[in-house]
Amino acid sequence: MTVAKAEFHGDPNIGLFGFATDKYVIVPDSNLDTSILGVPAVYTTVAHTELAGLFMAGNSNGIILPHIINAREEERIKLGFKSIKTKINILKLDSAKTCLGNLILCNDNGAVISPLLEKYKDSISRCLKVPVVIGNITELDIVGSLCVATNKGFLLTIEGKDPDFEFLKTNLKVGGDIGTVNFGGVFIRSGIIANSNGALIGKFTTGPEIARIEEALGFLED
């Protein structure tokens, strides 16, 4: 099984609470079972909240933190990476825009960032070790909230158009599809935590939505 329904303290919007790469997954605590993702879990809050997925973004090479993360939380991340013997770059942005999960979309091939983070393009590229482009999706600058990408595929909001799809396909270097989560939700990131091994999806996600997710993220090819 590569996809499993999940909730975090009863909330189906699990993507707000964490994100995954092919090297690690970040979540607030062990109440969210991430075993299907097949990578070590690092536990932390951000700014004394459980919204780790909303405030952070990253790939297998690096993680981007908001300036509002406190020293103890940052240390938890460093210790977590040390314990799993994984060298991960850490970049803390001084940007006033702190919901970085909504503004950064990336995998291990490339990254698309919001125009709101344009001044940080080069530092983000160095941290993630991938080419970075600036752009919108469906004319919105919250690019990270409208799509989930792994090294095998991406799921774009059903409101995405052909130019959005081709833009992501070119820059993330994987194929994908459009879809929804949690019974019609268009903010894809809020309902999915995924990597190349599997995906956790919000508990209200329907059968047809699951089928689209599995195909878009490349799980049906295994």
pLDDT digits (tens, 9 = 90+) for 19-76: 999 999 999 999 999 999 999 999 999 999 999 999 999 999 999 999 999 999 999 9
pLDDT value at position 50? 98
- CB 116 within 8 Å of CB 102: no
* Residue 221: pLDDT band with limits 50, 70, 90: low
pLDDT digits (tens, 9 = 90+) for 187-204: 999 999 999 999 999 999
What is the average pLDDT across 160-167? 97
User: Which residues are CB-contacts of 160 (< 8 A; sequence separation ≥ 6)?
Assistant: 137, 138, 146, 147, 178
pLDDT digits (tens, 9 = 90+) for 139-158: 999 999 999 999 999 999 99
H/E element, 111: strand 111-113
Query: 3-class DSSP state for residue 177?
Result: strand
Domain residues of the chain, as ranges?
A: 3-217
* Burial degree of 5 (CB within 10 A; 0-12, 13-18, 19+): middle
Report the distance separating Cα 156 and Cα 148, nearest Å.
7
Q: Is 102 left (phi over 0), alpha (psi -120 to 50) or beta?
A: alpha
CATH number of this structure's domain 3-217: 3.75.10.10
Assigned token pair, 147: 């799509």
| Beta-bridge mates of residue 42 | 26
